């Protein structure tokens, strides 16, 4: 299946600072891809390159186009939404919807109105009078109306409480996503998107350190929960990450014989949040 996004040697410098350092990756149709990393890792810079917003070095194709030179055509197939704070405070809801209808080539106003009808948002409301949760619902209403082939979300739930974050992603997956669409999400809060991802790309200091389908994680990484008494023996197998848990130790191993680990305790597939920390901190002992 042909990739929607292909990057080879993608590089971006801001002066002497290298934000993205010769990264390679692909994004295929019908996937929910998490591009995650700590603050300043290169996530937003990578998104800006995909969207044709910045100059870059290396090769980058999005829907078979050069995003820098063919951005206008690209926007027929792609939609981009950042955090809710990006909505203009002065605008009314009906004005925002009219603006979307007049500027986005793949926008269906009826779909947004159908979604808003199930909320407490009135079309006469101004954005500045909406709570953060209602702003999230307004963002979702806009998303629902966009018939783009790929949706790009940059920290879309920043600053929201856990209830609104959960509702945002539940509604996104249940009412928007289908096998014909691809969603690319950037966040540094991996625990909130772990349950919806099909693929994970972890980036740190401008370099990709993990890039694989979620279903392949168990083939490469294993987590061991062991007692303090047996931790020293397990440690000889060189975990890539370790942290203390009261009377136990949690260790993550890469490409290690799982059968040997069963001697020392409970073996499982690591959660993405723990794998993220392990990948970013390496052999750090927390």
Domain end position, chosen among 154, 175, 205: 205
Same-domain check for residues 276 and 168: no
Same-domain check for residues 163 and 136: yes
| Position 276 in a domain | yes
Conformation bin of residue 4: beta by default, left when phi > 0, alpha when psi is -120 to 50: alpha
Domain end position, chosen among 148, 175, 205: 205
Residue 187 binned pLDDT confidence (cut-offs 50, 70, 90): confident
Same-domain check for residues 107 and 191: yes
Q: How does pLDDT run across 126-165, given as a tens digit for each residue?
A: 999 998 888 888 988 888 898 889 999 988 887 778 887 8
Same-domain check for residues 142 and 243: no
- pLDDT over threshold 70, residue 196: yes
Q: How does pLDDT run across 30-80, given as a tens digit for each residue?
A: 999 999 999 889 999 999 999 999 999 999 999 999 999 999 888 888 988
What local confidence, expressed as pLDDT, does residue 282 receive?
Answer: 72
Show the tokens assigned to 208. Answer: 């990709």
DSSP state, 270?
Answer: P
Same-domain check for residues 95 and 157: yes
Same-domain check for residues 84 and 147: yes
Q: What domain range includes position 270? A: 217-281
What local confidence, expressed as pLDDT, does residue 168 receive?
Answer: 84
Mean pLDDT of 93-113: 91
Mean pLDDT of 184-201: 91
Same-domain check for residues 186 and 234: no
Domain end position, chosen among 205, 238, 261: 205
Closest by CA position to 254, among listed 273, 280, 236, 275: 275
Q: What percent of the chain has pLDDT over 70?
A: 98
Look over the chain and give the mean of its residue pLDDT values, rounded to a whole number.
91
Same-domain check for residues 125 and 172: yes
| Position 172 in a domain | yes
CATH at residue 81: 3.40.50.300
Q: What is the C-alpha separation between 53 and 60, in angstroms, rounded?
A: 13
Residue 286 binned pLDDT confidence (cut-offs 50, 70, 90): very low
Which residue matches tokens 């993220």?
A: 276
Closest by CA position to 94, among listed 126, 59, 119: 126
What local confidence, expressed as pLDDT, does residue 86 receive?
Answer: 72
């Amino acid at each position: 299946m042909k990739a929607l996004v292909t990057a080879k040697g993608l590089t971006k410098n801001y002066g002497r600072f290298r934000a993205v350092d010769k990264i390679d990756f692909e994004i295929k149709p019908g996937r929910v891809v998490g591009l995650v990393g700590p603050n300043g890792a290169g996530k937003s810079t990578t998104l800006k390159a995909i969207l044709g917003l910045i100059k870059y070095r290396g090769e980058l194709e999005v829907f078979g186009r050069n995003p820098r030179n063919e951005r206008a055509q690209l926007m027929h197939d792609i939609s981009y939404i950042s955090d809710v704070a990006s909505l203009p405070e002065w605008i009314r809801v009906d004005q925002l919807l009219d603006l979307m209808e007049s500027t986005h080539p793949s926008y269906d106003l009826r779909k947004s109105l159908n979604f808003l009808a199930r909320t407490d948002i009135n079309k006469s409301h101004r954005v500045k009078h909406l709570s953060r949760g209602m702003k999230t619902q307004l963002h979702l209403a806009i998303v629902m109306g966009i018939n783009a082939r790929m949706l790009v979300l940059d920290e879309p739930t920043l600053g929201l409480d856990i209830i609104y974050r959960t509702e945002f992603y539940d509604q996104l997956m249940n009412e928007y996503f289908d096998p014909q669409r691809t969603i690319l999400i950037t966040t540094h809060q991996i625990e909130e998107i772990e349950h919806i991802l099909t693929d994970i790309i972890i980036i740190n200091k401008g370099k990709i350190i993990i890039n694989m389908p979620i279903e392949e994680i168990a083939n490469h990484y294993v987590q061991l929960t062991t007692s303090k008494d047996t931790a020293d023996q397990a440690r000889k197998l060189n975990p890539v990450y370790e942290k203390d848990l009261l009377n136990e130790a949690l260790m993550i191993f890469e490409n290690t014989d799982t059968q040997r680990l069963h001697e020392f305790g409970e073996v499982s597939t690591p959660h993405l949040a723990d794998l993220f920390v392990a990948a970013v901190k390496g052999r750090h002992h927390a």
